[in-house]
Amino acid sequence: MWPRQFRALKIVHKFLVYTSLGLSLILSLVMLISILDYYDIWARNSLFDGASFLSPLWLLFPIILLAVVLYLLNRKIFSLIVLIIYCVYFLIIGDASLKFLSGYNVLKSEEKKLSILSVNVRYYSYGIDQIFNFIDSVDADIVLLSENTLPSDSITIFSNIGEKYYVCSGKKYETAILSKYPILLCREIEFPTHQASLSGSNNIDSLYKNPKRSFTHIRFNFNEREIDALSVRLIAGRPKSNKIKDQIEWGKYLIEKQTEEIQMLVNYLNTLERPVVFGGDFNAPPNAKVMRPLYKIAEDAARSQTFIPGPTFRTEFPVTRLDYIFTMNGLKTVNYSRLKVNVSDHLPIYGEFLLIRRNTGDENSGRE
């Protein structure tokens, strides 16, 4: 009897070991595929194109679980190897940075700081009054709105907003900017892509009939300098059905169109010589390859102030950061925070910035 039980236990033990090792190998391959996609190794429309959109935090729980199981199965070396592989993967493309260690020292600075609030208002589905009361309470100098559905005159009728801010708004469902400073330039720039429904399904074949997407650009004076501010939202939406085929096609379509939008945005940003702050809902995590061109020319406010920025997309188990504030050409981040309020399916983000002189050694425009 005992020998049979012992043999059965050995079989179960061996099964658990091989299963855990197999799953570890699969996850390691997934991480490798994501890294290669981040560096744009895979061909467009290949099976692995877009793998870098996978958030590294999604893999954290299964990796820890496998490491614990392997340790309990007395495979401690393999347990350690699994953890090391994940740490390397996270350090390569995870949302982490050590730039906060060299943060700009403002303890003795008496210079006026420029405050920026970025909010995805989700077409005001959480309540117009609630959103504008929140914006009023934060009292930021510049407010970047995504998924805005109101024209400028409809925004200014709210006394707490109209008395405080000048408004520049783009097309319905796109972006807008509120500014405490008089707006010297208000411009709407069209993307090469077409609008997708924010709340309903989308048929790729008919999207060309929709209006072009856009972002907004304002210019204003701050501390005797002209500053450019842009409110941007990259394309997103839902597929025409929940079928796997439609979801895959829609995902590849979004990657293609977001790539076009980022390239157009980068080209536009490179024409701006003044200090620039831009942000909004980019609908892509920092580890997505579509974001790499932005990180080559601009500084991410979150990464400049925190080691691991928290997620901004609100779900039951939030792991994804989709909202950003970037700076270029002499604006330096001195404060960044996520505001944990219930005004949208995204958390608003807030930052404070200083203008630094180009002839000092302190400047960091974010360019690499």
> Which of 301, 272, 289, 283 is CA-nearest to residue 366?
301
pLDDT of residue 2: 56
Q: Are 280 and 118 in contact (CB under 8 A)?
A: yes
Decide if 333 contacts 286 (C-beta within 8 A). Answer: no
Residue 5 confidence (pLDDT) above 70: no
57-96: pLDDT as tens digits: 999 999 999 999 999 999 999 999 999 999 999 999 999 8
Encode pLDDT of 212-258 as tens digits.
999 999 999 999 899 999 999 999 999 999 999 999 999 999 999 99
- Distance in angstroms (rounded) separating the CA atoms of residues 49 and 22: 24
Bridge-based pairing of strands 166-169 and 212-222 is unpaired
CB 178 within 8 A of CB 219: no
Percent of the chain with pLDDT over 90: 80
Q: What is the mean pLDDT of the chain?
A: 91
Residue 300 in 3-state DSSP? strand
The pairing of strands 174-179 and 331-338 is unpaired
| 157-167 pLDDT per residue, tens | 876 888 899 99
pLDDT at position 368: 36
The pLDDT of residue 8: 77
Residue among 71, 288, 55 at smallest CA distance from 24 = 71
Q: What is the pLDDT of residues 302-320, one digit of tens each?
A: 999 999 999 999 888 889 9
- CA-wise closest residue to 34 among 93, 86, 85: 93
Phi-psi region of 157 (alpha: psi -120 to 50; beta: other; left: phi over 0): alpha
